[in-house]
Amino acid sequence: MSRRACERNDNSDSMTSGLPIGILDFGSAGNVKSVANAFKRAGVKARLIRSYSPQMGLSGLVMPGVGSFSVVPGIIRSLGGKERAASIKIPVLCICLGMQALFPKSEECRKAKGLGIIEGKVRRIRGLVQLPQLGWNQVYQARKDALFFGIKNGEYFYFANSYAAFPSNGSNTLASTEYGERFASTVRYENWYGVQFHPEKSGRAGLKLIKNFAAICRRRVK
């Protein structure tokens, strides 16, 4: 079977069949509607949820977020607290601020605590560049992962950020981006994925990544 045929079959099962993916609407995620619309355009079954419980029967979870790190405690509450969040077994895709929430803390709001799923720091981007970064930039894959299946190395995705993540362990970095300095633009720890860019605003590449995440979710529940 050709790679194109494999990709076609891989995506078809992840569309409207099977268990839905939950998109967390915790009240301060300004991009939640655009994320939901992107999943719909990708043909992926998803539904908005205000909080997460294992009893919901979801195949995966999406944690969007825009704005300041100060809203991260609200994300954590919607997950049932740090301990319950750490016990989530389904794949989780964390977008923009959602990715930064995976880390213990951020310079942006020192009083707010993150999930601490991934060790490292979140700080303001350094270098002679205009902040926030608004627009398209390249994502360079550090290693192969199903999240980037069929997406070329160096593909452009849409960013909107002034702060960036720097994992302590380089193995947590799936991809990096250069803007003033090199930072982690995609991270992973076990079933937790984080992307600093906005797949819902990234055209075909973003929709492909969403389909790939859906395929990951489908395989996890089989």
Residue 132: pLDDT band by 50, 70, 90 thresholds? very high
Q: Does residue 132 have a cis peptide bond before it, meaning omega lies within 30 degrees of 0?
A: yes
- Dump pLDDT digits (tens) for 139-178: 999 999 999 999 999 999 999 999 999 999 999 999 999 9
Three-class secondary structure assignment of 95-128? ECHHHHCCCCCECCCCCCCCCCCCCEEEEECCCC
Residue located via tokens 């390249």 = 138
**Is residue 94 annotated as part of the catalytic site, yes or no?**
no
181-199 mean pLDDT: 98
- Dump pLDDT digits (tens) for 78-100: 999 999 999 999 999 999 999 99
Look up the CATH number of the domain holding residue 146.
3.40.50.880
Partners of 195 in beta bridges: 95, 186
CB 66 within 8 A of CB 29: yes
Residue located via tokens 């790679």 = 3
End-to-end CA distance of the chain: 22
Residue 14: pLDDT band by 50, 70, 90 thresholds? very low
Which is the catalytic residue, given 94, 155, 200, 217? 200
Which is the catalytic residue, given 94, 108, 155, 198? 198
**Is residue 181 annotated as part of the catalytic site, yes or no?**
no
**For the chain, how many structural domains are there in total?**
1
pLDDT of residue 15: 53
CB 176 within 8 A of CB 185: yes
> DSSP assignment, residue 45?
-
Which is the catalytic residue, given 96, 108, 155, 217? 96
Domain containing residue 68: 3-221
Helix or strand run (H / E) with residue 74: helix 72-78
Partners of 158 in beta bridges: 136, 198
**Is residue 96 annotated as part of the catalytic site, yes or no?**
yes
